[in-house]
Structure 1
Amino acid sequence: MTHDGRIARGERTRGAVIEQALLLATVSGLDGLSLSQVADALGVSKSGLFAHWRSKEALQLAVIDQARAQWRDRVVQPAMEAPPGVRRLWSVHDRRIAFYEARVLPGGCFFTNAHFEFNARPGVIRDRLATELTDWMSFLTGLAAEASTLGELRPGVDPGGLAYHVESLGICAVMQAPVLGAAPTYATARRQLIEHLRAVATDPTILAEQP
């Protein structure tokens, strides 16, 4: 029981550290993240954190894992409850904007910030982020392709192009919100996609209940 208790406490500590590291990374940058910074924020000793991560790179990779899990839980899984097709594609965008509106992360969007930070810096972290982006765009393209297969998109609509449109609105929204105002920016991001989806849908009325 004592051994199990230590394991449980270790897992709780690890979870708390990763959560804090994710928050800090959206403000200070993923490269600016350090075990010392996280330890200071949590009020724990830096030496204790070395039991979980032996290097800054290991901590950065763990933060990316945490960000992916958070995105899955807060955005992807709730959106998948919508009917397949254009309504599900809309739901992903709507959930994404809601995630930003809730200010879950003080820096807005972990992945958007990290991609800009590491795009021109070859290495393990950039490669991992590239994989995340590839997976995400494949997911969006798959949703658009599913809508096409279901006959919900007009002939000639490119699933990849539609996915690019969705992603562009999301990135633009989270980047502009702190400067131009969150409420009008996020309202525009929602309105622009719903109008576009209605324009390319074979039956725009299936999106009538959306804002």
Structure 2
Amino acid sequence: MSPRKSVAEAAATRDRIIERAFTLASAEGLEGLTIGRLATDLGMSKAGVIGHFGTKEALQLAVLEAAVDRFRQRVPGRAVGARPGTERLSRALHEWIDYMTESEGHGGCFLTSVASEFDGRPGPVRDAVLDALSRWTAYVTGELSTAVEAGRLPPLTDVDQLAFELNGVILAADQSIQLHRDPQAPDRARRAIGRLLKR
């Protein structure tokens, strides 16, 4: 076996582990991931699974990184062509709601679930979640500031407060979709977003 093929196969195996771990963590929580369960599901040894990451925490961080990449491509990534400001932000928020309701999103938002799971647990996983959500908040405030500068929102708009309220709508939508199984939740969230961005 050539070294190049060996490296490629190792990377493919690592990706397969992360994919399965993401699916399991979406249903059972990131902390609930066990090396034994992954090894059984993938037909590997425990040593073979952990050997790609070193520790369970490193595996959790790899899964979280994959989740952030999916989110970035699926939510702000699909809003790239929209006009900067409220139009682009509205599209991104609507994409996030759609993502929550699709099978691809596993019936809710992975990042929101992990944030709730680790918000009181200091450590690298919590830090990584905080960093990802802080970048999202910066995206939201950036688009809101652009809208204020362009005159699409009132000049005295409190951008930080509006970002807080919009993120509150998303959190409420996630809980209503995932916990309450409320079929009206996506439409309620979209109406709330529209009202907030048109004031």
Query: Normalising by the residue count of structure 2, what TM-score does the alignment of the two structures yield?
Result: 0.92
> Which residue number in structure 1 is paired with residue 185 of structure 2?
185
> Which residue number in structure 2 is paired with residue 32 of structure 1?
32
Q: 1:117/1:181 Cα in 2 relative to 1: closer, same or farther (>3 Å)?
A: closer
- Residue-pair matches, total: 199
> Which residue number in structure 2 is paired with residue 41 of structure 1?
41
Query: Normalising by the residue count of structure 1, what TM-score does the alignment of the two structures yield?
Result: 0.87
> Which residue number in structure 1 is paired with residue 150 of structure 2?
150
Q: 1:149-182: CA deviations, max 9, x gaps?
A: 1111012211112211221111111111134434
Alignment of 1:88-103 (within 5 A): 88-103=88-103
Separation in 2, partners of 1:182, 1:12 = 38
> Which residue number in structure 2 is paired with residue 20 of structure 1?
20
Q: 1:28-56: CA deviations, max 9, x gaps?
A: 21111122222222232222123311101
The percent of aligned pairs where both chains have the same amino acid is 34
Q: 1:14/1:93 Cα in 2 relative to 1: closer, same or farther (>3 Å)?
A: same
Deviation at 1:63, TM superposition (A): 1.1
Q: 1:65-108: CA deviations, max 9, x gaps?
A: 11110111111111122111110110111110111121213352
Which ranges of structure 2 fall in alignment gaps of 5 or more residues? Answer: none
**Does 2:7 correspond to 1:7?**
yes
Separation in 1, partners of 2:39, 2:105 = 19
> Which residue number in structure 2 is paired with residue 204 of structure 1?
none
> Which residue number in structure 1 is paired with residue 120 of structure 2?
120
Maintained 8 Å contact 1:101/1:182 = no
> Which residue number in structure 2 is paired with residue 51 of structure 1?
51
Separation in 1, partners of 2:85, 2:120 = 35
**Letter matched to residue 129 of structure 1:** V
Q: 1:173/1:151 Cα in 2 relative to 1: closer, same or farther (>3 Å)?
A: same
Separation in 1, partners of 2:193, 2:182 = 17
> Which residue number in structure 1 is paired with residue 138 of structure 2?
138
Which ranges of structure 1 fall in alignment gaps of 5 or more residues? Answer: 201-211
Deviation at 1:195, TM superposition (A): 2.2
Separation in 2, partners of 1:2, 1:176 = 52
Separation in 2, partners of 1:157, 1:98 = 27
Maintained 8 Å contact 2:149/2:155 = no
**Letter matched to residue 125 of structure 1:** V
**RMSD (Å), alpha carbons:** 1.6
Maintained 8 Å contact 1:144/1:159 = yes
**Letter matched to residue 46 of structure 2:** K
**Letter matched to residue 63 of structure 1:** V
Maintained 8 Å contact 1:90/1:194 = yes
